[in-house]
């Protein structure tokens, strides 16, 4: 498994785009679009047309009351890449991971 691509995102919303050649992956936070494109092309043997990225998390998620006082927790910071493969190609997410 690549160090850039951590895992595919398999949710109802993410898999709805699979028929149109759109796939979502959790990727390394420091990876740029070109590195993500090369990693997906190498791992799955497809041609990538477009890469879009989104960064999530880092905000306040909850407040916890402990015997030491109030502790604010932050949500996990992670990056999602949405890739579009060339027309006629597809990625089989269930057999490669």
Tokens for 26, please give them.
Answer: 């959790």
- The domain ranges of the chain are 5-96
CB 81 within 8 A of CB 43: no
Among 9-13, 26-30, 54-58, the least confident range? 54-58
Positions of E strands within the chain:
5-8, 22-27, 48-56, 60-66, 69-74, 78-85
Phi and psi angles of residue 4, each rounded to the nearest 5 degrees, phi first: -80, -45
The predicted structure's pLDDT at residue 67: 81
pLDDT exceeds cutoff 80 at 1? no
Q: What is the pLDDT of residues 32-81, one digit of tens each?
A: 999 999 999 999 999 999 999 999 987 877 777 878 777 778 888 999 99
| pTM across the whole model | 0.83
CB 84 within 8 A of CB 50: yes
Domain 5-96 belongs to what architecture?
2-Layer Sandwich (3.30)
């Amino acid at each position: 498994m690549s160090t850039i691509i951590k895992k595919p995102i398999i949710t109802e919303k993410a898999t709805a785009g699979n028929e149109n050649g759109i796939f979502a992956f959790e990727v390394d936070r420091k990876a740029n679009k070109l590195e993500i494109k090369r990693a997906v092309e190498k791992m799955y043997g497809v041609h990538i047309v477009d890469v879009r990225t989104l960064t999530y998390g880092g905000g306040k998620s909850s407040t916890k009351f402990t015997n030491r006082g109030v502790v604010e927790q932050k949500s996990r910071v992670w990056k999602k890449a949405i890739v579009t493969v060339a027309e006629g190609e597809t990625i089989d997410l269930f057999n490669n991971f």
